[in-house]
Amino acid sequence: MKEKKELLKNYIISNVAPILTNFDVSKLPYAVVIPANISKSELCGHYDNDSYVAPEWFKKLNAEKSLLVIDRIDTISKEEQLKFIELLESKQISTFKLPSNVVIILTASNINKDTINEEIYSLVAHV
């Protein structure tokens, strides 16, 4: 367990890929947590009159250091998990690019081929 925690810490520091873990990271400093079952409109933003407005969670990200935690990805269907592809591949949602230092972490209690979409799994480092 200690080795896995150290590996997770190293992945967070290096920020080379999104991370999939069964650790509860929602209490870590700088964590902005969004539930996996977030609606598509809350995930992507919305129009307000003529302007496209960033989602609320996006506004909470710190330009200096942040963790974006997608919490309990295994609780939604594998098809619904695909709504996070753009975030994982390009670190952006709609027209809003995440700050380069943001580390994306997906949490799951049960990590296996029946609970995690294969395409999602191919984009993450499993710790």
The domain ranges of the chain are 2-126
What's domain 2-126's superfamily in CATH? P-loop containing nucleotide triphosphate hydrolases (3.40.50.300)
pLDDT, mean of residues 11-30? 89
Per-residue b or e along 73-86, where b marks 16 or more CB atoms closer than 10 Å to that residue's CB:
bbbbebeebebbee
- Portion of the chain with pLDDT greater than 90, in percent: 63
User: What is the rounded CA–CA span in Å between residue 43 and residue 20?
Assistant: 19
H or E stretch at 69: strand 67-71
Q: Are 78 and 117 in contact (CB under 8 A)?
A: yes
Q: How confident is the model at residue 5 (pLDDT cuts 50, 70, 90)?
A: confident
Of the candidates 125, 106, 127, the residue with the CA atom closest to the CA atom of residue 115: 106
Residue 124 has pLDDT above 90, yes or no: yes
Q: Which pTM does this prediction carry?
A: 0.91
Pick the closest to residue 70 from 20, 118, 19, 33 (CA basis).
33
Model pLDDT for residues 21-77, shown as the tens digit of each residue: 999 898 888 899 999 999 998 999 888 888 888 899 998 998 777 899 999 999 999
Kindly report the average pLDDT of the chain as a whole number.
91
Taking the C-alpha atoms of residue 82 and residue 90, their distance in angstroms, rounded to an integer, is: 14
- Residue 100: count other Cβ atoms within 10 Å of its Cβ: 8
